[in-house]
């Protein structure tokens, strides 16, 4: 499997704000709280968050998948540190009412955790 690296760099490497989410397995920072688009999202495995951005992740190959709302082109996303699957990225929605999801990230709630405190640097 070939993975594409996706890292969000913020200014000089400092995190903006102090609220962020980490991989539950290795505590690698993967998303900022301010990037949550939908909090009551549902994935195939339970509750999830829809984020506008994610960081320190790897993207798997694109694939067509039937999801709850319809068929979508998606790519699984993995923690760049421990390689655990954390969710997926919406690459393309085929129905107009789902287009707002394009380019956004679904992170399963049970695979991420709120960080206790903000580090000074990534």
pLDDT at 116: 67
Domain count, the chain: 1
**CA distance from start to end of the chain:** 27
CB-based contacts of 48, cutoff 8 Å, min separation 6: 41, 42, 87, 106, 107, 108, 109
pLDDT at 114: 93
pLDDT at 4: 53
In a domain, 121, yes or no: no
In a domain, 122, yes or no: no
Which residue range(s) make up the domain with 21?
4-114
pLDDT at 53: 96
pLDDT at 121: 46
| Average pLDDT, consecutive stretches of 10 residues, N- to C-terminus, the chain (122 residues) | 49 60 96 93 85 96 83 93 96 88 94 75 47
Kindly report the CATH number assigned to the domain that includes residue 21. Answer: 2.170.150.20
pLDDT at 9: 46
Tell me the β-bridge partners of 82: none
In a domain, 120, yes or no: no
């Amino acid at each position: 499997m070939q993975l594409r690296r996706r890292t969000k760099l913020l200014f000089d490497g400092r995190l903006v704000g102090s609220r962020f989410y980490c991989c539950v397995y290795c505590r690698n920072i993967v998303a900022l709280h301010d990037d949550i688009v939908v909090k009551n999202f549902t994935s195939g495995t339970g509750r999830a968050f829809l984020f506008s951005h994610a960081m320190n992740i790897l993207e798997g190959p694109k694939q067509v998948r039937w999801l709850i709302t319809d068929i979508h082109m998606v790519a699984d996303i993995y923690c760049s540190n421990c390689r655990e699957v954390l969710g997926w990225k919406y690459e393309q929605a085929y129905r107009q009412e789902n287009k707002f999801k394009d380019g956004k990230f679904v992170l399963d709630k049970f695979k991420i955790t709120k960080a206790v405190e903000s580090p000074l640097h990534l």
